[in-house]
Structure 1
């Protein structure tokens, strides 16, 4: 009888440990999609030729690394359906873009660039329909200078 009690106690601890660990493993993504800092702006991504608003870009700022900007392109059209999305960011005085592109259901990014204190940043997004029959891009150039 003592062996059965010991086994049951061990199982209860094992199950209890699993139940306590489960919420941590299934935690929801951060509200700012993995970007550090505070949200400083939102840009609407729209094209009237292809059906109005397709999403928006959230822009975040952190004072770390001599100023860090981070951006995420969040879909409002075709949400839940795999479709082409891309977001790019760079300091306006640089030529190389930092990008995330692929076929996503909700958002592209985050993309991050450091050393943004005292300079402007550029953002570019691209979208396409799930069947890739329609696509377009939007640019937000020279934004959040300082």
Structure 2
């Protein structure tokens, strides 16, 4: 994952409000932001009760099965979900209390893997 360091720092200050589903289908807590990637976005959450950060990658064109991937990691833990999905990949969660998180996603097998971080340092 270190090979994505350039992409991670590239978008560290960028946040947008993309259209999101009414619920996060598995991520609990407060939505920290939506981060744009080619073909979709990564939604990031933090649950202050559990100290967990959670991420999901959404496609901008739901309905058709396509490769979607989401990764989230800290210095001590990492999680990934990837496969052929119609709407999103994830949720994936790691303990985030007192740590910075990194996350990346991909929508479409031929699209780049794009990520951000370190971010949301608590």
TM class, shorter-length: 0.7 to 0.9
Larger radius of gyration: 1
Higher helix share: 1
Q: Give a deviation string over 1:83-135, Cα, whole Å, max 9, x none.
A: 111101111x23x5201110001111100112x1221001011222xxx4x22
TM-score, scaled to structure 2: 0.76
**Superposition pairs of residues 1-146 of structure 1, within 5 angstroms:** 31-46=23-38, 54-65=39-50, 67-77=51-61, 79-91=62-74, 93-94=75-76, 96-114=77-95, 116-128=96-108, 132=109, 134-146=110-122
Shift of 1:64: 2.8
Q: What is the aligned-residue RMSD (CA, Å)?
A: 1.7
Secondary structure of 1:57's aligned partner: strand
TM-score, scaled to structure 1: 0.64
Structure 2: which 5+ runs fail to align? 1-20
2: distance between equivalents of 1:126 and 1:43?
A: 12
C-alpha contact 1:72 1:108 (8 A) present in aligned 2: yes
